[in-house]
Amino acid sequence: MGVERPSTSQRSGTSTTYEGHLKNHINPVFGLVPLISIRPTSVPKWVKDLHVKGLAPRTVETIYVISPASCAEPYGTA
């Protein structure tokens, strides 16, 4: 049998979600910042701010994982 690929609409939904996260939560903070300039000390505040906005923990984790901040600080330490 094997693993089934998600339908086109599911893949499209994921892309739309990620694009929204980039537009609303990542680019305003990290959009023009070179990766090397993202300091681990700035990541916990950003993650906390996402929680304060009322985002669900899983949503915050998804935003974090697709962001350049994930290269600066391991999730869970932020």
Domain range list for the chain:
8-71
pLDDT at 33: 87
* Cβ pair 43, 10 in contact under 8 A: no
CA pair distance 47, 5, nearest whole angstrom:
31
| pLDDT of the residue at 63 | 94
Q: What is the pLDDT of residue 1?
A: 46
- What is the residue type of 20? G
Residue 39 has pLDDT above 90, yes or no: no
Cα 5 from Cα 11, distance rounded (Å): 9
**pTM to 2 decimals?**
0.73
Q: Identify the residue with better confidence: 63 or 36.
A: 63
